[in-house]
Amino acid sequence: MRTATGAVLALLLAAGCASASTASTGSTASTGSDRSSAPVSAGGALTVADALDTPWGVARLPDGDLLVGSRDTGRILRVDPATGARADVGTVPGVDPGGEAGLLGLAVDGQGRIYAYFTSRDDNRIVRFDYDTSRPAGAQLGDATTVLTGIPKGNNHDGGRIAFGPDGMLYVGTGETGHRELAQDRDSLGGKILRITPDGAPAPGNPFPGSPVYSLGHRNVQGLAWDPQGRLWASEFGQDTWDELNLVRPGANYGWPVVEGKAGRDGYTDPVVQWHPVDASPSGLAYASGSLWMAGLRGQRLWQIPLDGDRAGTPVAHLDHTDGRLRTVVVEPGGTLLVTTSNTDGRGDPKPGDDRILRVDPR
């Protein structure tokens, strides 16, 4: 595996880029350019799609296409990662954006139904949609079925990542919305990792009977990933001192706001790796080729964290300050990575063509 610090990742597959005009008009599809003309990002990664508006959640469909959600508009696009062609799926009703709030995580279950974590007028919640591609573009979402309500909302620390685990349960990363005490309150859904059934009930075998809470003491979880042994890892924003990569165990308390980073204090579980926020401010997380890959926002890096069982090697930075803020990481079946930038989220410095989906080869 190539591990030279700061080296530009080699790319396995090329992909076309959908036109900016199609992204803005919401037409049913755009024609991507051929592989030989696929644009290259500042960091040397190939651009799969560009001109995306505040992309946040990304989910893979069974046929390999991507669902990409816009945090600020609530709109979901379908993107073909081979050509960059896109189609307008629909808009999630009731999204109330502002600050870090809006349409956040997306997930797809085994039946092809779409799950969305979003900020409503009253809370953060998860809803489910049937997805009907036979309906007109922009109207392919069925009626929303409420899965879970009552997750605290705020302009900051809204969490938002959702993912189905190997056990078929839906895992949910939430934030404490700036109210630190919620992270230690087992009766609150804020500052937690939740584990629920696809219908929203507390999952069987959860550590606290009758509760969706799987782990607590988190500040703002925005990345969830499983390694080949089925272990759950989570990336977490710290406050001023340490961001964290945690190995998540049921019922464990990760310390916030009592401790931040590695403290060695009884009753709290230390992170496996920690970074200063200027170097990370982590969001999305994925596993590929023996490593975890973590997207950094303020840090503007794609961090590679080699794994050896439940231990981590020295992190290596890729795309180091070349493509701006990085939000979400998705693994393709062939092992390549798709990484979204997050330069139009109000905290970045967008360049022409932002935001983008980039393809990189982790090997």
Q: What is the DSSP letter of 5?
A: T
For 96, the token pair is 């109330």
Cβ-contact 230, 166 below 8 angstroms:
yes
By annotation, the residues acting in catalysis are 157
Measured between alpha carbons, how far is 299 from 278 in angstroms, rounded to an integer? 5
Cβ-contact 317, 5 below 8 angstroms:
yes
Q: What is the dihedral of CA 65, 70, 74, 76, to 10 degrees?
A: -10
Cα distance between the two ends of the chain: 5
DSSP 193-256: EEEE-TTSSBPTT-SSTT--EEEE--SBEEEEEE-TT--EEEEE--SSS-EEEEEE-TT-B--T
Q: How many CA atoms lie within 13 A of 224 on its CB side?
A: 32
CA angle (149 as vertex; 145, 153 as ends), nearest 5: 130
Phi and psi (nearest 5°) for 25?
A: -90, -20
